[in-house]
Amino acid sequence: MGLFDRFRRRRQRPGTLRTSTKADTSHLEEWAAARRGVEAYVEPRTAVTETTVVLIAHDGEWTRRRIDGPEGAKQFARKLSMPVYDVALVGYPQRMRDYTARQRALRKRAEGEGRTD
């Protein structure tokens, strides 16, 4: 790898979807290993993105990355011995929404404290 290779963007043709990469899978594995009670929620492919998987920890913290289709998500979850759900069938757990709301409130509070009106 050259000195400036990491700064070069790989050109993707307009209208093509970016697929899952090793970096995506590595991120998911590392994230899951650092948390407890992690469950996988598979999101279907859309016109804009490929199939994605959302990992949700016991406290509602979450991360999302592309994955190689629904079967790839199931294999990934089995490999890490975690339950896997189809978001279209079961929806997202309440703890994820609660976590997101708490993070939003913390950001707003931090922004408010930084003001010098």
In terms of Cα–Cα distance, which of 30, 28, 35, 34 is closest to 53?
28
**pTM of the model as a whole:** 0.80
| Model confidence pLDDT, tens digit, residues 58-116 | 999 999 999 999 999 999 999 999 999 999 999 999 999 999 999 999 999 998 876 66
Name, in order, each residue with C-beta under 8 angstroms of 19's C-beta and a sequence gap of 6 or more.
Answer: 50, 66, 68
Residue 37 pLDDT greater than 60, yes or no? yes
